[in-house]
């Protein structure tokens, strides 16, 4: 959702990166961090071999899916350094030798640009690691490359197609290339689903991590506000932006999140961050609050009923709950906050880009798109950019009142779900199955569970525990305010129901 120059990797570079080596085990056979680390420790594969295996797989499959924009030229060199440590019996950290793909609005050191999918930023080589990238490197991760996304985190046009950018083209769903990958972290979710890497990072303003994870069938966590820094990330709205992991297991997503989180002097939202200890959950069964599914497709509603039945069969109590708060102003307020934040923050970001980037303001970006209409506005326009540019930034009182109102309302809606119904955890379908990509009419969303968590700044987890006609549909865990650790544990308990002998419903 909100969240031509194709692959800038020359054939010569690809050839250097993908030279064939003898594998005891191939990269595509390994998915989880534990599996990779076990293979390392048992000398079944090296970090260099693993990294080259992923690069080879990307080169082979990516032309069909457009999930990856760029491969990091130093990826193999990074892997060799990890192998050097391994040879000395040293371990770089919890992500030792784990290749990670980054959404292309996250800055990195080196020669790769950070484009947000826009040709206006095709030369945005900042040579700066975002805070989250520094955290990954410090934990031993290998930065593998950059993934495609909805241009400007899907905050450009009301009629956009999620997963499309002028830089990377249209990303396609991992399970059906005629269907949409959702967005805006489209390439990251598709890349994990296709096993281009064990871990990818996405960003979310409202649904941009959880929706693509849901429709591509991968695990993902949208963290709580203030848990993970956004510095070094192309902004949409500091009121709601977050950075989070996608992975092949909930355990891996949680591990990566534990690496990403922490205080960053450059992001004031993280200044009060404190590491929480896991609460002791001794009960064997949960009281699960199930939100209505009537806004989703009929097939998704049927799936949800089967999932609730499976949870009951596993010994959990399922209570039907609904939002009692009046949300009439919520989404109008949200849109105003996003327009205001984007105007202020993208102007600040563009003004501080390197000299080789010529677009230095939102007005200049709008002009650039007009001047490059054939490439930038081939399928849809830029009405949202124009609306954002018209926002009066001097109306700070209106902004602060609106922000207080919408955040208070969203937070109360979530806390009341827990308090009024006496439940341990709240669940809902994440979204409906992927729709057919339509570059003429744009996206066709059918239901979403992302907004309350996005606005309140609470944790939102999606689990790939169901399918409709072979298309993945995620199940959302909507955390209570200030209770992310409890949500992780409850998500693990629920996930276990569907990876146990009980068949995943379809």
Please list, residue by residue across 307-330, b when 16 or more beta carbons sit within 10 angstroms of its beta carbon and e when fewer do: bbebbeebebebeebeeebeeeeb
In the block, residue with structure tokens 């049927």: 302
What does the alpha-carbon distance between residue 104 and residue 73 come to, in Å, rounded to a whole number? 15
How much is the CA Rg of the chain, to the nearest whole Å?
22
Token readout for 289 is 């609050």
d(CA 417, CA 33): 35
Q: Are the C-beta atoms of 107 and 130 separated by less than 8 Å?
A: yes
Token pair 């809606």 is at which residue? Answer: 413
Q: How far apart are CA 113 and CA 136, in angstroms?
A: 19
- Per this entry, what is the length of the chain? 506
Which H or E element spans position 39?
A: helix 33-41
Alpha-carbon torsion (314, 316, 322, 323), positive or negative: negative
Euclidean distance between CA atoms 154 and 186, whole angstroms = 10
Token pair 């800055």: residue: 107
Rounded Cα distance between 372 and 374, Å, is 6
Q: Which residues contact 202 (CB under 8 A, 6 or more apart)?
A: 3, 103, 184, 185, 188, 189, 208, 209, 212, 213, 220, 243, 244, 245, 246
Cβ count within 10 A of residue 3 = 29
Q: 143: which 2 tokens?
A: 């930065």
Spatial contact of 213 and 248, defined as CB atoms under 8 Å apart:
no
Q: How far apart are CA 506 and CA 489, in angstroms?
A: 25
Q: How many helices (H) and strands (E) does the chain have?
A: 16, 15
Could you give the residue numbers annotated as active site? 103, 184, 208
Instruction: Please give the angle made by the CA atoms of 91, 95 and 97, to the nearest 5 degrees.
Output: 70
């Amino acid at each position: 959702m909100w969240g031509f120059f194709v692959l800038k990797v020359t054939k010569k570079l690809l050839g250097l990166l993908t030279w064939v080596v003898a594998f005891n085990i191939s990269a595509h056979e390994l998915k989880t961090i534990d599996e990779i680390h076990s293979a390392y420790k048992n000398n079944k594969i090296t970090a260099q071999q693993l990294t080259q295996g992923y690069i080879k797989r990307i080169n082979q499959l990516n032309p069909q899916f457009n999930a990856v924009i760029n491969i990091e030229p130093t990826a193999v060199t990074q892997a060799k350094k990890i192998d050097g440590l391994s040879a000395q019996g040293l371990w770089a950290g919890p992500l030792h030798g784990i290749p990670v793909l980054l959404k292309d609005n996250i800055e990195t050191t080196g020669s790769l640009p950070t484009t947000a999918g826009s040709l206006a930023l095709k030369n945005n080589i900042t040579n700066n690691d975002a805070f989250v990238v520094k955290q990954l490197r410090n934990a031993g991760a290998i930065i593998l490359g950059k993934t495609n996304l909805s241009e400007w985190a899907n905050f450009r046009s009301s009629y956009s197609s999620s997963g499309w950018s002028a830089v990377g083209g249209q990303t396609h769903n991992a399970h059906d290339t005629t269907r949409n990958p959702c967005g805006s972290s489209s390439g990251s979710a598709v890349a994990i689903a296709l096993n281009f890497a064990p871990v990818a990072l996405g960003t979310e303003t409202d649904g941009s991590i959880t929706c693509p994870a849901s429709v591509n069938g991968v695990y993902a966590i949208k963290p709580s506000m203030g848990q993970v820094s956004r510095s070094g990330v192309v902004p949409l709205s500091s009121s709601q932006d977050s950075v989070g992991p996608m992975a092949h297991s909930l355990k891996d997503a949680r591990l990566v999140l534990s690496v990403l989180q922490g205080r960053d002097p450059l992001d004031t939202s993280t200044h009060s961050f404190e590491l929480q200890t896991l609460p002791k959950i001794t009960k064997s069964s949960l009281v699960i609050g199930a939100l209505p599914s009537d806004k989703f497709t009929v097939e998704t509603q049927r799936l949800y009923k089967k999932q609730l039945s499976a949870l009951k069969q596993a010994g959990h109590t399922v209570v039907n709950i609904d939002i009692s708060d009046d949300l009439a102003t919520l989404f109008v307020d949200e849109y105003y906050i996003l327009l205001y934040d984007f105007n202020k923050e993208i102007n600040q970001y563009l003004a501080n880009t390197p000299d080789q980037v010529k677009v230095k303001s939102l007005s200049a970006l709008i002009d650039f798109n007009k001047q490059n209409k054939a490439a930038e506005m081939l399928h849809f326009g830029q009405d949202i950019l124009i609306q954002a540019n018209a926002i009066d930034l001097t109306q700070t009182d209106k902004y602060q009142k609106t922000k207080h109102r919408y955040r208070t309302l969203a937070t109360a809606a979530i806390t009341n779900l827990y308090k009024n119904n006496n439940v341990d955890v709240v669940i809902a379908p994440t979204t409906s199955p992927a729709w057919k990509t339509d570059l003429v009419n744009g996206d066709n969303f059918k239901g979403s569970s992302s907004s309350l968590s996005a606005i309140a700044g609470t944790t939102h987890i999606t689990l790939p525990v169901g399918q409709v006609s072979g298309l993945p549909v995620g199940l959302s865990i909507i955390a209570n305010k200030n209770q992310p650790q409890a949500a992780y544990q409850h998500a693990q308990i629920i996930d276990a129901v569907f990876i146990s002998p009980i068949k995943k419903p379809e």
